[in-house]
């Protein structure tokens, strides 16, 4: 029976929770911050504060996972330059987005979002190994490979036929043929995915085969790809790994009048997979995030939109920008997540939906 006075209950709970006898864990005492005040500006000395941040917060745990951690950037750089005439001033922001010298894998890289992202990462300087099901790459891929060669920035784009739903095959490819031969693996974009079952089909009519096909590619394939990449990163001693899974806004909302139960379920699973892997892999210096595109015009969605143009109008009117997204509008966010510019971002989902969620 509940007491008649709620406030009494709240006070009782508060005393119970705050009582030191309830398995309370003592908080470690924080060390004093060695901040030396500048006699001229009466503010924290930049070098002392920066040294404290780097040495105390990062080296003590041996888990610094970004090349930007031990750099003087932004306001700290401005203050440093004011105090030290010998300090070299140069723009650093674009260097933080650089992927020069890094090795990555992109599944679903033969076309669509995967190929667009692979090219973006190459433009940032990475050597990208694109994975996809066809034995031979598409004409679009050949054009992109020639384009990357012309960049002359140390990047490269290579194609590998594989089946992401075959765990042993994807593991052998990513770990044995890519990570070990390259001597490192830094980033992974899991972009392979399918729509399904049949367009417009009610979930009441799904066959076991229809359901399992979507889950096998969109869930199993994503996990096997990211698992293999993470193993390759750990084995080669990666210090700043980044895994990006391509989810969908349909993983967190249901699009009105669009019966995609299997697809939506699979993408919701990708969101939780990434959050969970982020928590497990943080200690390995690997960040894990997702990108959730909204209605994007790709070759995959074109198969539906070209037959049903009214659906394109519906999708366009479903976001504040009043249009469909283009594949190139995902280039910036994937490069950010793959690079040191997002060094403190993990377990996050980045929506690129034209504001669809804001209605």
What pLDDT, in 10s, does the model give residues 189-214?
999 999 888 777 899 999 999 999 99
Q: What is the pLDDT of residue 55?
A: 53
Q: Which of 24-38, 269-283, 297-311 has the highest mean pLDDT?
A: 269-283
Does residue 27 have a pLDDT over 60? no
pLDDT score of 153 more than 90: yes
Q: Would you state the pLDDT for residue 66?
A: 61
Please identify which of the residues 107, 242, 250, 263 carries the catalytic annotation. Answer: 263
Query: Mean per-residue pLDDT for 178-187?
Result: 98
Q: Cβ distance 164 to 201 under 8 Å?
A: no
Tokens matching residue 253: 């909302």
Mean pLDDT, range 220-237, rounded to an integer: 98
Annotated active-site residue 224? The verdict is no
Q: What pLDDT, on the 0 to 100 scale, is given for residue 311?
A: 87
User: Which range among 39-43, 233-237, 297-301 has the greatest average pLDDT?
Assistant: 233-237
Gap between the Cα atoms of 269 and 80, Å rounded: 46
* Per-residue pLDDT tens digits for 35-79: 444 444 444 455 555 555 555 444 444 455 566 667 888 898 888
Residue 26 has pLDDT above 80, yes or no: no
Which candidate in 65, 107, 155, 248 is catalytic?
Answer: 248
The gap between the terminal CA atoms of the chain, to the nearest Å, is 44
Q: Is the pLDDT of residue 126 over 80?
A: yes
Confidence of residue 31 (pLDDT cuts 50, 70, 90): low
Q: How confident is the model at residue 29 (pLDDT cuts 50, 70, 90)?
A: low
What rounded mean pLDDT belongs to the chain? 86
CB contact set of 265 (below 8 Å; sequence gap of 6+): 215
To the query of whether residue 19 is one of the catalytic residues in this protein, the response is: no
Report pLDDT for 106. 99
Q: Report the C-alpha gap between 347 and 351 in whole angstroms.
A: 13
pLDDT score for 301: 82
pLDDT at 133: 98
- Name the band, by pLDDT with cuts 50, 70 and 90, for residue 89: confident
Structure tokens at 87: 């300090």
Going from the N-terminus, what domains does the chain have, and what CATH number goes with each? 34-96 (no CATH), 99-358 (3.40.50.720)
**Mean per-residue pLDDT for 3-17?**
45
Place of tokens 């079952």: 197
The whole-angstrom separation of Cα 196 and Cα 310 is: 20
Catalytic entry in 267, 292, 318, 353 = 267
Give the residue-averaged pLDDT of 254-283: 95
- H helices then E strands: how many in the chain? 14, 9
pLDDT at 351 over 70: yes
Sequence-ordered list of residues with C-beta below 8 angstroms from that of 213, at least 6 positions apart, any chain = 194, 196, 197
pLDDT of residue 300: 75
Q: Count the alpha carbons within 13 Å of 56 in the hemisphere toward its beta carbon.
A: 12
pTM listed for this prediction = 0.82
| Catalytic site includes residue 256 | no
Distance CA 96, CA 149 (A): 23
Q: Over 90: is that where the pLDDT of 137 sits?
A: yes
> Residues of the chain with pLDDT > 70: what percent?
80
230 close to 286: Cβ distance less than 8 angstroms: yes
Distances 219 to 149, 224, 236, 267, 316 between C-alpha atoms, Å: 33, 9, 26, 8, 28
- The predicted model gives 16-44 an average pLDDT of 46
């Amino acid at each position: 029976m509940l007491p008649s006075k709620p406030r009494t209950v709240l006070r009782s709970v508060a005393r119970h929770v705050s009582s030191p006898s309830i398995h309370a864990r003592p908080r470690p005492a924080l060390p004093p911050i060695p901040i030396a005040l500048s006699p001229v500006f009466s503010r924290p000395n930049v070098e002392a504060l920066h040294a404290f941040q780097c040495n105390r917060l990062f080296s003590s745990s041996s888990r610094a996972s970004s090349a930007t951690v031990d750099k003087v950037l932004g306001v700290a750089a401005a203050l440093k330059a004011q105090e030290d005439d010998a300090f070299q001033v140069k723009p650093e922001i674009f260097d933080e987005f650089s992927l020069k010298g890094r090795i990555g894998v992109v599944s679903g890289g033969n076309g669509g979002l995967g190929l667009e992202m692979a090219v973006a990462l190459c433009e940032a300087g990475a050597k990208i190994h694109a994975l996809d099901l066809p034995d031979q790459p598409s004409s679009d891929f050949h054009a992109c490979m020639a384009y990357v060669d012309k960049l002359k920035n140390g990047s490269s784009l290579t194609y590998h036929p594989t089946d992401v739903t075959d765990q042993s095959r994807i593991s052998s490819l990513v770990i044995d043929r890519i990570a070990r031969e390259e001597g490192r693996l830094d980033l992974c974009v899991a972009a392979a995915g399918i729509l399904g079952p049949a367009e417009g089909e009610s979930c009441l009519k799904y066959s076991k085969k229809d359901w399992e096909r979507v889950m096998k590619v969109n869930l199993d394939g994503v996990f096997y790809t990211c698992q293999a990449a993470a193993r390759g990163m750990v084995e080669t001693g990666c210090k700043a790994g980044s895994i990006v899974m391509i989810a969908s806004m349909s993983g967190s909302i249901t699009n009105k009048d669009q019966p995609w139960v299997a697809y939506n379920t699979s993408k919701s699973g990708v969101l939780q997979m990434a959050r969970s892997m982020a928590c497990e892999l943080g200690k390995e210096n690997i960040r894990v995030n997702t990108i959730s595109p909204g209605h994007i015009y790709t070759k995959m969605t074109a198969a539906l939109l070209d037959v049903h143009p009214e659906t394109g109008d519906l999708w366009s009117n479903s976001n504040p920008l009043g249009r469909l997204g283009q594949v190139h509008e995902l280039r910036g966010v994937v490069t950010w997540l793959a690079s040191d510019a997002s060094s403190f971002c993990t377990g996050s989902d980045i929506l690129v939906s034209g504001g669809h969620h804001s209605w």
